[in-house]
């Protein structure tokens, strides 16, 4: 295998753990000696061993004089295990291939410096684009201390997410809805507005055949207006409610002591305040399932990093049907958010379009 193929293997191993390592990044490592793979490892869960620890444990003494391919710069800090840079030095590897540097300015380059001081050759950048994409959400959070926001909407071909009566069952297929649960599984948190809770009474849990992690359910509810029997108030998953400063938190909390309520200082909920609060709580990835008014707020304030549009081959019609992105229309087309399509894929009879705002 070529060095590109060894790094591609490390990247694949890292990609297979996306969503399960938060708040840590997903990392993969491959140890090679004499053209033979002698160790493969990935970071499987925050607090557990890093990828290099697993790969080097598998390689054992045979690692001496070999090379390691790692998708993120080896750490220099003491976590659950000693710094990976020290472990690589201890195993006397000859060369380290690093796909991308740590985004944290406090540690960026420190791992490389330590390896080079120990006389180990370091090559940076092999598979870098794929390594940056793989931990895109983590890197964004590290840089901004705000969650990476993905807007999700399911709509008809003419952009409707419900009929004028609010009916939306179902627009997209089972397959497309299953894909939504895969997205929920890899996100730290999911967010909807109180209108979606009142109209749809969603569970907002991850229901995959193979199981999966429930994201934290975040409800924007200015006046704590959701009904006491709403399904998201059950104890199947964590639920946080963000409300305005006029809401009667005391009454709500006495009725629902297990629900975390965050009261913002203003009477209206501003998305930028929501993202600051969630960032402080360590939420790195946020999946916004709407509805229309909520999407309108995120789009108007340009506070999203990606949108996933699931489009069904149906035409609903009706100017009074519910549109995917509500709120006020800008006066001019120039005020539209300019995006770039990053992928379009068919899922069952539907298509999933992923688009991102043009890099600022
Ligand atoms: N109506 C449709 C959707 N509707 C999405 C609404 O947010 C709906 O209330 C929640 O997805 C329901 O959540 P839960 O299943 O109770 O956890 N989403 C889709 O992907 N396709 C559709 O057709």
Out of 150, 151, 154, 195, mutate this one to test ligand 1's pocket (max ligand atoms within 8 Å of CB): namely 154
Q: What local confidence, expressed as pLDDT, does residue 31 receive?
A: 98
6 vs 55: CA distance, rounded Å = 13
Q: What local confidence, expressed as pLDDT, does residue 56 receive?
A: 97
- The DSSP secondary structure of 225-272, one letter per residue, reads -S-TT-GGGSSSS-EEEEE-TTS-HHHHHHH-TTSEEEE-SSSS--HH
316 vs 298: CA distance, rounded Å = 25
Q: What local confidence, expressed as pLDDT, does residue 360 receive?
A: 54
128 exposed, middle or buried (CB, 10 Å; 0-12, 13-18, 19+)? middle
93 vs 116: CA distance, rounded Å = 11
Distance in Å, CA 195 to ligand 1 centroid: 13
pLDDT in tens, 303-355: 999 999 999 999 999 999 999 999 999 999 999 999 999 999 999 999 999 99
Collapse the DSSP code of 316 into the 3-class scheme (helix H, G, I; strand E, B; otherwise coil) and give the result: coil
- Measuring CA to CA, how many Å separate 205 from each of 121, 197, 224, 234, 240? 47, 13, 21, 11, 14
pLDDT in tens, 58-102: 999 999 999 999 999 999 988 777 899 999 999 999 999 999 998
Distance in Å, CA 214 to ligand 1 centroid: 15
CB atoms within 10 A of CB 193: 25
Q: Are 172 and 154 in contact (CB under 8 A)?
A: yes
Which pair of tokens denotes residue 40?
A: 């493969």
Can the peptide bond before residue 7 be classed as cis, meaning omega within 30 degrees of 0? Answer: no
326 vs 323: CA distance, rounded Å = 6
Nearest atom in ligand 1 to the alpha carbon of residue 204 is 17
Taking CB atoms and a 6 Å cutoff, what residues make up the pocket around ligand 1?
A: 154, 168-172, 176-177, 180, 196, 200, 202-205, 289-290, 310
Q: Which residues of the chain have pLDDT under 50?
A: none
Instruction: Report DSSP state, residue 244.
Output: -
pTM: 0.95
Catalytically active residues, by annotation: 52
């Amino acid at each position: 295998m070529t060095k590109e193929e060894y790094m591609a293997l490390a990247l694949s191993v890292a990609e297979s753990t996306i969503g399960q390592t938060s708040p840590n990044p997903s990392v993969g490592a491959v140890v090679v000696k004499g053209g033979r793979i002698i160790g493969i490892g990935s970071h499987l869960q925050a607090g557990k061993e890093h990828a290099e620890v697993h790969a080097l444990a598998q390689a054992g003494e045979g690692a001496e004089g070999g090379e390691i391919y790692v998708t993120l710069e080896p750490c220099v800090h003491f976590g659950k295990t000693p710094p990976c840079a020290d472990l690589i030095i201890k195993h006397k590897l000859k060369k380290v291939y690093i796909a991308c540097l740590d985004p944290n300015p406090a540690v960026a380059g420190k791992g490389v410096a330590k390896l080079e001081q120990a006389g180990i050759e370091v090559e940076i950048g092999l598979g870098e684009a794929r390594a940056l994409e793989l931990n895109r959400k983590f890197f964004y959070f590290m840089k901004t201390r705000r969650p990476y926001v993905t807007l999700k909407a399911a709509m008809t071909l003419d952009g409707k997410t419900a009929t004028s009566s609010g009916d939306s069952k179902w627009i997209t297929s089972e397959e497309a809805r299953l894909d939504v649960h895969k997205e929920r599984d890899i996100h730290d948190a999911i967010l909807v507005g109180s209108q979606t809770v009142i109209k749809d009474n969603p569970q907002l849990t991850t229901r995959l055949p193979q199981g999966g992690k429930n994201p934290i359910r975040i409800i924007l509810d200015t006046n704590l207006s959701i009904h006491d029997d709403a399904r998201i108030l059950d104890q199947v998953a964590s639920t946080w409610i963000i409300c305005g400063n006029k809401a009667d938190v005391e009454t709500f909390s006495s009725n629902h002591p297990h629900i975390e309520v965050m009261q913002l200082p203003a009477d209206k909920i501003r998305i930028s305040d929501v993202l600051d609060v969630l960032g402080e709580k360590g939420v790195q990835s946020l999946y916004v399932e709407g509805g229309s008014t909520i999407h309108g707020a995120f789009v108007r304030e340009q506070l999203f990093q990606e949108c996933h549009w699931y489009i069904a081959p149906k035409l609903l019609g009706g100017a009074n049907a519910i549109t995917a992105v509500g709120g006020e229309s800008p006066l001019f087309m120039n005020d539209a958010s300019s995006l770039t399509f990053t992928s379009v894929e068919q899922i069952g009879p539907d298509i999933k379009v992923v688009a991102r705002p043009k890099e600022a």
